A and B are shown apart, each in its own frame.
Chain A
Amino acid sequence: MTRDEIKDLILEIIKDIDEDADFNTLQSDLPLRDQLDLDSMDFLDIVMELRKRHKLQIPEEDYPQLASLSSCVNYLEPLLKNI
């Protein structure tokens, strides 16, 4: 997956979690939690969805890597490079 495809994947999963999420003003480097109405349960949903769709196992200690859109992409890029 390219960086753009990974970004789209994350946004698509967030859209499933919250259909009202507004991505127009979303800044990649700022925490998703501060910009969208996401709580810790929502981040767990992202982890579960990545495991379901792409068999990715994200250990609990790596959850902080999912904080912002760009940190998500940086973290997932090597893991999804062959997909």
Chain B
Amino acid sequence: MNGQSILFSGEALELLPSGAFYWPSNDLLVVSDLHLGKSERVARLGGALLPPYETTDTLTRLAADIDRSGARNVLCLGDSFDDAAAAVSLEASHRATIATLQAGRKWIWIEGNHDPGVHDLGGSYLAELRYASLVFRHIARTPCEGGEISGHYHPKARVRSASRPCFLVDSKRLMLPAYGCYTGGLNWTSPAIRGLFSDQATAYLTGQRVLAVPLPVAA
């Protein structure tokens, strides 16, 4: 399925072209930074009335990934909602979609800086999760104990003239790209991201298929 298998902290993981990854030995699908309800939040604050379709789009892609991988467990790695009010005012149809996706699955919400605390959707709520040799948290921690899976920075790579959301992986950290529709990205060479990774880090570009490329050495 155009993904890329990698070995991280001793675990075999399948990075998907959509920006999610699948962990076969635990039948777990991981996504980060969905930012559901973003356009609604902008409008509420008196800003522009953006096309209100990003939640539909993000959930449609997530459903496709769950369907293709057949995962029985799903973990959302924080900033799943653009803010707490966005989680509350989620449309009924979107609630129903999430409920359908959750049916028969174990679902974990890790909290992020945009969506701390608990909302009223099903699933478990955790600040972070340790499992096997891996630790799942929203924002990468320094120093890092190893086996860390995080999101938050929305990393984007630039190769030739293409700019694509990407995974970043070195021996200690794995960072996911943002999965949500209106999420943008931060350049992989920006100090906030680049400073977290060693010079042996690899980026995996999302797109039609996952492409591996070394992370440029810090300037």
Say whether A and B bind each other. Answer: no
Residues of B bordering A, CB below 8 Å: none
